[in-house]
């Protein structure tokens, strides 16, 4: 018979929703095990490879941009060549500080055991952990929360994988400023890195198959971002699908559906993410992944297995830290029976894109509002793209 250690709550993965739930319930007297596989991911994706490091670099890029423009403000200043290593070290220092702060929190709360190791399910709410020294432990939980997050998706473009394109994570470890950065993808990460590296001194080209940047936004908003980018010297190629990639004297060459090609020194591939469910063996806990590898949940974030929830990116849906934090509130209410925030139904999302100027939105776009019948199509013909007319139509 397997010897099991029993906890009130087991959290697999230390992202925002899971770690916050672990700390809260431990303070309420629940016995909690928080499992993290990678010591360099303590605290979750946001702290280590997403929000914090990218915004640290965004701020460095903004300072460089302002120094270049100092003369416009009557200030005499000059900017020499930027050292990517120095920028990277500052980023690492910020991340390291926050990672250490999270570790201290995890290891100082009574009833909370923080465990570094690889977790996999072996039965109903049973988790086997392979510790860093190779030794196994088997835990059983009254409640289990899966919070393993997501990772950059592997490229599917022929020839691209062989060129080892950068991801939103690996690009922040560069020790040189790219001469010419080619960005494949149109999402938040792509536009943030485009402006950042342009301000670091790179030539930047964004390539995407869609008709507009930031496809979730209204066309006029997307156009405003594009115009800002082009004023800063960023080349934007829309409606241009990348069909294959190969090496070139400059470093890389991307062949486009138009029959043209573009050369660059580095490639950033930001066309999606994939859930970190490989190796979890969720089937042992009577769970099945969906076609994309995500863990299906209900509006209460419950999985098909009794007493098992999934929070954060691993369940699919919008991949924002504050969404994961809201997931924590929902699962907390489910486990404790306290609180009225018990479902994702009607959840209103807010998000920001850290371009300069920033782009933020709460709730529906104009296009979404119209599709749902919340706005009257009363603008005069020929004014479809008039911002003021659009605003006047919204109720």
Mean pLDDT by 10 residues, the chain (395 residues): 83 97 98 97 97 97 96 94 95 98 98 98 97 96 98 94 97 97 90 98 95 92 96 96 97 96 98 94 96 97 98 95 96 95 93 95 91 71 47 39
Residue 39 and residue 36: Cα distance in Å, rounded? 7
- Please give the pLDDT value at position 4: 78
Structure-token match 């059983």, residue found = 140
User: Rounded CA gap, 265 and 178, in Å?
Assistant: 6
CB 117 within 8 A of CB 35: yes
pLDDT for the residue 2 = 57
CA dist 104 to 9, 99, 100, 120, 253, Å? 20, 9, 6, 25, 46
Predicted local distance difference test score (pLDDT) of residue 377: 56
Dihedral sign (CA 21, 16, 131, 123): positive
Quick one: pLDDT at residue 382? 54
State CA 318 to chain mean position distance: 9
pLDDT at 172: 98
Task: Tell me the C-alpha distance between 130 and 116, whole Å.
Answer: 9
Pairing of the two strands 266-269 and 180-184: parallel
How far apart are the C-alpha atoms of 22 and 325, rounded to whole Å? 12
CA distance 208 to 120: 38
SS3 of the chain: CCCCEEEEEEEECCCHHHHHHHHHHHHCCCCEEEEECCHHHCCCHHHHHCHHHHHHHHHHHHHHHHHHCHHHHCCCCCCCCCCHHHHHHHHHHHHHHHHHHHHHHHHHCCCEEEEEEEEEEEECCEEEEEECCCCEEEEEEEEEEECCCEEECCCCCCCCHHHCCECCCHHHHCCCCCCEEEEECCCHHHHHHHHHHHHHCCEEEEECCCCCCCCCCCHHHHHHHHHHHHHCCCEEECCCCEEEEECCCCCEEEEECCCCEEEECEEEECCCEEECCCCCCHHHHCCCCCCCCCCCCCCCCECCCCCEEECHHHHCCCCCHHHHHHHHHHHHHHHHCCCCCCCCCCCCCEEEECCCCCEEEECCCHHHHHHCCCECCCCCCCCCCCHHHHHHHEC
**Cβ–Cβ contacts within 10 Å for residue 333, how many?**
16
In this prediction the pTM is 0.91
Pair of tokens at residue 234: 């960023």
Q: What angle do CA 312, 318, 321 make, to 5 degrees?
A: 50
């Amino acid at each position: 018979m397997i010897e099991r250690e029993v906890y009130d709550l087991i959290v697999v993965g230390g992202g925002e929703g899971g770690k916050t739930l672990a700390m809260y319930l431990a303070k309420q007297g629940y016995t909690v095990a928080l499992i993290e596989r990678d010591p360099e991911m303590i605290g979750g994706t946001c702290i280590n490879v997403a929000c914090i490091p990218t915004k640290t670099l965004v701020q460095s890029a903004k300072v460089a941009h302002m120094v270049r423009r100092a003369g416009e403000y009557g200030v005499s200043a000059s900017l020499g060549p930027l050292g990517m290593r120095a920028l990277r070290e500052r980023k690492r220092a910020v991340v390291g500080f926050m990672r250490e702060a999270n570790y201290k929190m995890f290891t100082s709360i009574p009833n909370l055991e923080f465990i570094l190791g690889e977790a996999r399910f072996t039965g109903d709410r049973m988790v086997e952990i392979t510790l860093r020294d190779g030794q196994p432990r088997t835990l059983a939980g009254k409640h289990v929360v899966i919070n393993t997050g997501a990772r950059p998706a592997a490229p599917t473009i022929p020839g691209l994988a062989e060129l080892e394109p950068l991801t939103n994570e690996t690009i922040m470890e560069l020790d040189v400023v790219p001469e010419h950065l080619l960005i494949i993808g149109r999402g938040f990460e792509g536009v943030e890195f485009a402006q950042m590296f342009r301000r670091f001194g790179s030539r930047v080209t964004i390539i995407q198959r869609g008709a507009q940047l930031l496809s979730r936004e209204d066309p006029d908003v997307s156009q405003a971002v594009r115009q800002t980018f082009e004023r800063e010297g960023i080349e934007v190629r829309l409606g241009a699908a990348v069909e294959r990639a190969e090496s070139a004297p400059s470093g890389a060459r991307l062949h486009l559906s138009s029959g043209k090609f573009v050369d660059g020194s580095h490639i950033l591939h930001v066309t999606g993410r994939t859930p970190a469910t490989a190796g979890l063996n969720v089937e042992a806990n009577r769970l099945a992944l969906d076609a994309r590898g995500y863990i299906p949940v209900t509006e209460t974030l419950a999985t098909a297995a009794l007493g098992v929830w999934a929070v954060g990116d691993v369940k699919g849906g919008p991949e924002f830290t504050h969404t994961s934090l809201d997931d924590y509130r929902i699962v907390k209410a489910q486990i404790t029976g306290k609180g009225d925030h018990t479902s994702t139904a009607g959840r209103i999302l807010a998000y920001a894109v850290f371009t300069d100027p920033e782009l933020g939105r709460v709730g529906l776009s104009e296009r979404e509002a119209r599709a749902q019948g919340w706005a009257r199509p009363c603008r005069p013909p020929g004014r479809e793209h008039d911002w003021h007319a659009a605003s006047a139509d919204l109720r």
